[in-house]
Amino acid sequence: MSDLIVRHGGYRKLKSFQVAQLVYDVTVRFCDRYVDKRSRTNDQMVQAARSGVQNIAEGSQASATSKKTELKLTQVARASLEELRLDYEDFLRHRGLTKLEPDHPALLRFKEKKPQTVEGVAAWVEEERARTYTDEQGRSRTGTDGLGGTESVSVGVRPCPSLSSACLVANAALSLLNLACYFLDRQVERLARDFENEGGFSERLYRVRTARRRGKS
């Protein structure tokens, strides 16, 4: 890259983008399964998740000529994911479902697995649902339920209502959103610091022109 057009793009390598993209994939599947397709909430959640991903990518690409635009779009992505976080919290609260604490065993196991795909999240959901199934003697029984499957519970098996698949997926999404927002907060701080110290395209243009004039004189 020249001194004027700095290195840009590369957003696919950003942790913020990778986690936001997983949040988007999970949200599309979640809304398809648990949120009324005719409701405004369904569309808003999907669009907020998409906005997070798209604005990170657009900001990274725009950084070639405008650090200010990159900073603005990254903040838009952060705001979109915050909106989505509130939607997931509302989903749990309105349905009387449990919002798990960060140190809840199920969430600790989720963080240990570090799923990279929506299928990985679904696998964790099924594992946790299997943990909640007990027969009348308290013995563990296995059922199937997840982001894309249907629940099948044997006679005498009692799933824990507070850890339904919807509850688990929403909490998984919240955990991922916390991580994505953490990465974006750090990204915004770095971009603001770089902009303050180095300026943007106009400052680079001035430096390049000044250097060339001096070279010709």
Inside any domain, residue 178: yes
What is the number of domains present in the chain?
A: 1
Inside any domain, residue 6: no
The total of other beta-carbon atoms located within 10 Å of residue 158's CB is 12
Read off the pLDDT of residues 118-143 as tens digits, 9 standing for 90 and up. 999 999 999 999 886 544 444 444 44
Inside any domain, residue 2: no
> What CATH number does residue 118 fall under?
1.20.1440.60
Inside any domain, residue 57: yes
Most confident of the ranges 50-54, 148-152, 162-166: 50-54
Contact call for residues 45 and 84 (beta carbons, < 8 A): yes
Inside any domain, residue 138: yes
Beta bridge partner(s), residue 140: 134
Among 4-13, 96-105, 144-153, the minimum mean pLDDT is found in 144-153
Residue 209 makes CB contacts below 8 A (sequence gap 6+) with none
Inside any domain, residue 196: yes
Q: What is the dihedral of CA 195, 198, 202, 208, to 10 degrees?
A: -160
Confidence category of residue 147, pLDDT binned at 50, 70, 90: low
From residue 82, give the alpha-carbon distance in Å to each of 15, 35, 79, 100. 17, 19, 5, 18
- What is the residue range of 71's domain? 11-216
Task: Collect contacts of 191-196 with beta carbons under 8 A, ≥24 apart.
Answer: 191/67, 191/70, 191/71, 191/74, 192/71, 194/67, 195/67, 195/68, 195/71
- Residue type, position 186, single letter: R
